[in-house]
Amino acid sequence: GADVWWMSYLLMRDAVMLITFALSWIMFQPNIVASAALPITGSLAALFLLLGLAVKLSRRVDDDIAAYRLATVFIVLGATLYYGPLVFAVEAASQSYLAGFAQFFTSNTNVPVALGIMWVSLAGVVAVAGWLFIRAWMSANRSMTQRVAAQKTPPAKEPLPAM
């Protein structure tokens, strides 16, 4: 019973992170970044979310405290990079005392910087996705090699008793 609940928790936790990353793909659309008021660091936040997910998928974060801390740091950095500009720039654009902050940290008012951050973040996403693909490929090859080797090895014959 408890194993089913634990596996359900792990599946939901990682699925929510994956869905959140999929929804954040809007931060990698150059025309939307240039025309809509988005947090300028939204694409960087998505990259950190993917890094946190990569750590969770490649290491045992529930058993390894260093992996847990690393995944948590990536997720907190991503959340900070998203919510800081969202709250103080995009949502508070009507506040006169935040005008300078809003001007700099909103993507449609600072297009060159926003697009630069977006392209650098996209390169990071491609690098992380490539690393995850290669890691999965190597793992599949290793397990396939073990299966093939086990099938090729003939079973040991029992010695016949002397009569």
Segments forming the whole domain that contains residue 48: 2-150
CB-based burial label for 114 (10 Å; 0-12, 13-18, 19+): buried
Phi, psi of 39 (to 5 degrees): -60, 130
The pLDDT of residue 146 = 79
Tally of domains in the chain:
1
Within-domain flag for 155: no
Confidence (pTM): 0.82
Tell me: the pLDDT tens digits for 92-141? 878 888 888 888 999 999 999 999 999 999 999 999 999 999 999 998 88
Domain membership of residue 33 (yes or no) is: yes
Assigned domain for 157 exists = no
Q: Which of 30-39, 137-146, 147-156 has the lowest mean pLDDT?
A: 147-156
**Residue 46 in contact with residue 22, Cβ under 8 Å?**
no
pLDDT tens digits, residue range 3-27?
Answer: 899 889 888 988 999 999 999 999 9
CA angle 34, 37, 39 (to 5 degrees): 95
- In a domain, residue 41? The reply is yes
Helix axes 42-58, 2-23, angle to 10 degrees: 150
